[in-house]
Amino acid sequence: DAKTTQPPSMDCAEGRAANLPCNHSTISGNEYVYWYRQIHSQGPQYIIHGLKNNETNEMASLIITEDRKSSTLILPHATLRDTAVYYCIVSPRNTNAGKSTFGDGTTLTVKP
Amino acid sequence: DAGVTQSPTHLIKTRGQQVTLRCSPKSGHDTVSWYQQALGQGPQFIFQYYEEEERQRGNFPDRFSGHQFPNYSSELNVNALLLGDSALYLCASSSGTGGDYRTEQFFGPGTRLTVL
């Protein structure tokens, strides 16, 4: 699996958009970008995934650059409950969803 | 739908002992993956079970073994416990047959193992 690079920590004001970057410069053509988050003392929670097109769901938006070497997770209106560790993962297509390689993630702190 | 459940919630063992952790996948899921998460680090993949067989394995020694039952539930066994095995053990379930598609994983709350 391709490795990812994320900033160790970020702050965001409540109600503002949180933009979390992820670099995956060695991503292969058949690898998806997945985002998970882990709130303290809980298991990771799936947020969103994409291959090359931008994606949006009820939780967030995922913007993937045209060369697919980086992506940004956008939480449009961050709340205090969005404070968590956010993990960016890339993983091959033709495997089951296991063997995801989690890095150390970005600790997002949403402040009032 | 109860989601992914794990038992026990917490466990304390001593060095050299053996431990068994249990996981029930989300309804409709047939694949179970296990992860070890040390304090302050991201989850590290241990192995994955599908159709009662180990399909993929991470960089963990043979002391870590597992099993999947016909009802898709799974166990993680760790023998000869070391102090370094203290961690949160996460189970994740997903649905897939290894075909040409991807699905997200659903994680359980984890089992906190402390080795003294």
The residues on B that touch A, with CB distances below 8 Å, are 4, 31, 33, 35, 40-45, 48, 50, 55-56, 58, 90, 92, 94, 96-110
> What 3-state DSSP class applies to B75?
strand
Q: What residues of chain A lie within 8 A of the CB of B90, using their CB?
A: 43-44
Averaged pLDDT, A81-86: 97
DSSP 3-state of B85 = helix
Q: CB under 8 Å to B94, separation ≥6 — which residues? A: A96, A97, A98, B29, B31, B33, B103, B104, B105, B106
> CA torsion angle for A17, A103, A50, B97 (degrees, to 10)?
-140
Structure tokens at B111: 């089992």
- The tokens describing B3, both together, are 């989601």
Confidence of residue A68 (pLDDT cuts 50, 70, 90): very high
Question: Is the Cβ–Cβ distance between A35 and A49 less than 8 Å?
Answer: yes
HSE-up of A110 (CA within 13 Å, CB side)? 20
With a cut of 60, say whether residue B102 has pLDDT above it.
no
Percent of chain A with pLDDT over 90: 69
In the A/B pair of chains, how many CB contacts fall below 8 A?
A: 80
